[in-house]
Structures are given as structure tokens and as C-alpha cells.
Amino acid sequence: MAMTARPDLPAEPGQRPRRRRRRSPVTWARSGGMASVVFLLPLLITFGFFSWLPVAKSLVLSMQRTNLVTAAEWVGLANFERVLADPLLWTAVWNTTWFTLLAVVVGFPVPVMLAVFIGELRKSRGLASALAYIPVILPPVVAVLLWKAYYNPGPDGLFNTVLGWFGLGPFPWLQDGTMAMPSIVVQATWAGFGGTTIIYLAALRSVRTDLYEAAEVDGASIWRRVWHITLPQLRGIMLIMLLLQLIGTFQVFTEPFIMTGGGPENRTTTILMLIYNYAFIAGDYGKATALSLMLAGVLSIVSAVYLFLTRTWSKT
């Protein structure tokens, strides 16, 4: 095959390697480089103003004590020390970790299984997808308030009424230190599985159909097809979804904030609720941003470790 020599290709054997010629700024501008900058500017300004500036501000704020009126006082790492000295921090860390574990164990397989199930349907696949997606359409606060009512601990609560028909309960749901967090996880899973299911369904479309046909010819059962074809083909997207779920669940706030207010006895107080309390109840923005940065740091490390450990698994 004929090849055309290009100046930036490696030199032929025997010749001295030629250094890549750098373009001067003028050449770069004349060849249309400014256009890319112009196109990039709105994005940079938007990101700069709404994303990077707040991040930079929170970095500064975490080392200040301020009432947002008078000149802020630089306190170095004192805010971080105060956060670490808060006895409620470790309760919140444990609660958040517990929520994340439960949410992953309960919430991760549900959309995968549902997507596979819907994918196997011959009829009404669209209807099934729409039904699965309905909880996502409800505004989160409305959904949480509804579930809060369903979890009414009295015998006349919705769940307790239904369970009462079978001679079970009434259960204290959110009122009991042991049951409260799993109850919240069930609601969060219900609220979130629809969106994830749709993503898995889209990913399923990329699975090669000839593999299924070959498996069918070989007499593979539906479970073997799912186990040996579908799941391996989905693992890339599953990896990403698991990571997103880990990050998302670590930042859980709305559900415990509305359903339990962190109770009973701080058993559902999460890290984000602590940040909220520092900022809006105590008006201590230094402490709130310090804890926010600590959380962001931990999540970054967790994400990096996760990606490192699973880097071979993600490659098909």
C-alpha cells in the first residue's frame, strides 16, 4: 500500500529523527485557531463562573470564619479540626456508609434485573419501560412525602394496613433505629431505579443479537443467556453506573432530611445533613465548606481507587 510521507511521521531508519515543527502563535491564529477559542469561551466562562468559582470560593471559605458581612478571619485548618472533633461526624460517616452499602446491595441489582426482564419481553416493552420510569417523574420531595405517609407507624398507615391483612405488624418503620435506614433505602431505590433501568435498556440494544441466536441454537436456557451474554456485555455500563451510584448515595440528603430529620437518635443523620446543619442551622459556613471539601476529597479517592481496581474488568 502506497504511503504518503508526512513531516510529523517518524523518520525512516537511518535518518536522524526530525523534531516536530512547532507552529508559531501567528500561524496558529491564521489557520483558524482563534475560532476554536471563540467557540470554547462561552463554555469556559459558564463553567468558570458556575462551577470553578464556587469550588475556589469554598476552598477559601473552608479556611475562614465569616459572618458574610464583615471581613473574614483566616483560621487556617481550624474549621477542619472542629469538624473532626464533632462527635456526630463519625455517626454521620457510619450512617452514610451504611446507607451506601444498603443502597448498592438493594438498589444496584434491581434495575439490571428489570432491564433484562423488560428486554426479554416480546410485547409491551415500551409500556413496561414507561411504568418503570414513572417514579422518576414525581418530584423527589413529593415522592418522599408520600412515602413518609405510607410509612406511618400507626396501624392505619398504608404499609401497616396492607401487612395487617396478613396478620403482620404494625411496624415502626422510620421510628425504630434499626428499621429507619433500610426503610429510607427502599424508598430511594424505588425513586431511582426507573432512570437506571432506561440506561440499561439502551445498553442492551448494543448487545450483539447473533450471540443470542448462537446460544439458542446451542440450546442455552434464558438464564444462561443472561449470565453468559447479557451481563458480560453490560459490564462496562454497569461499572460506570455503580460508580455513579456510589457517589450519589454518599451524598444522600433529601430522603433522610424529609422523612426522619436524621432521627431517631441520629441513626439517619448523613454527612450532607451535617453540612446542612452547620451552614443553615448554626450559620457556620467555614465548618460546612470544610466538611464538604473533605467529602469531595474522599469521594475522589474512592472513585480513583475504584477505577484503578476495575480497570481490567471494564475492558471487554
Partner 1 sequence: MVRPVHRGLVALAGTAMMIALAACGADSSTDDAGASDEPDLNAEVTITVSDLPPTEQAESRQAMLDKIADFEAAHPTITIDAQETKWAAETFNAMLAGGTLPIVTAVPFTEIQALASRGQATDLTDAVADSAAISALSPTVMESVTRDGRIYGVPYQAYTMGLVYNRGLFEEAGLDPDDPPQTWDDVRAAAKTITEQTGQPGFISMTASNTGGWVLSTMSYAFGGQMQEVSGDDVLASFAAPRTATTEALELLRAMRWEDESMGANFLLDIDDARNEFAAGRAGMFVHGADVYGDMVVNRGLPGEHYGVAPLPQSPDGIGTLGGGAIDIVSPNATPEQVAAAIKWIEYHRLGRLSDEEQAVTWAESRAADDLPVGTPELPIVDAAQYETYLGWIDSYINVPRDNYELYLSTVEDIPLVPEPPVKAQELYAALDPVVQAVLTREDADLAELLDQAERNVNDFIAAG
Q: Please select the residue that binds partner 1; options are 221, 261, 307, 314, rule is CB under 8 A.
A: 261
| Options 4-12, 100-108, 274-282, 303-311: segment touching partner 1 (CB under 8 A) | 274-282
As beta bridge partners, residue 65 has: 73
- Burial of 240: CB neighbours in 10 Å, binned 0-12, 13-18, 19+: middle
Return the number of the residue (249 or 260) whose C-beta is nearest partner 1. Answer: 260
Mask of contacts with partner 1, 42-81, x by CB under 8 A? --x---x---xx--xx--xx--x-xxxxxxx---------
Q: What distance in Å separates the CA atoms of residue 293 and residue 10, rounded to the nearest whole number?
A: 46
Binders in 214-253 for partner 1, by CB under 8 A = none
Q: Please select the residue that binds partner 1; options are 109, 177, 195, 232, rule is CB under 8 A.
A: 177
Residue 307 CB, shortest distance to partner 1, in Å, is 20
158 touches partner 1 (CB under 8 A): no
CB 251 within 8 A of CB 77: no
As beta bridge partners, residue 196 has: none
Residue 237 CB, shortest distance to partner 1, in Å, is 28
Q: Which DSSP string corresponds to 296-315?
A: HHHHHHHHHHHHHHTTTTT-
Mask of contacts with partner 1, 81-120, x by CB under 8 A? -x--xxxx--------------------------------
Contacts of 53 (CB under 8 A, 6+ apart): none
Among all chains, which residue has been given the C-alpha cell 459572618? 67
Residue 306 CB, shortest distance to partner 1, in Å, is 24
> Which residue, among 91, 251, 102, has the nearest Cα to 182 in the 3D structure?
102
| Options 101-109, 113-121, 220-228, 259-267: segment touching partner 1 (CB under 8 A) | 259-267
CB 303 within 8 A of CB 247: yes
Helices 109-120 and 180-204: angle between axes, nearest 10 degrees? 40
* Interaction site with partner 1 (CB under 8 A): 44, 48, 52-53, 56-57, 60-61, 64, 66-72, 82, 85-88, 152-155, 170, 172, 174-177, 259-266, 277, 279-283, 285
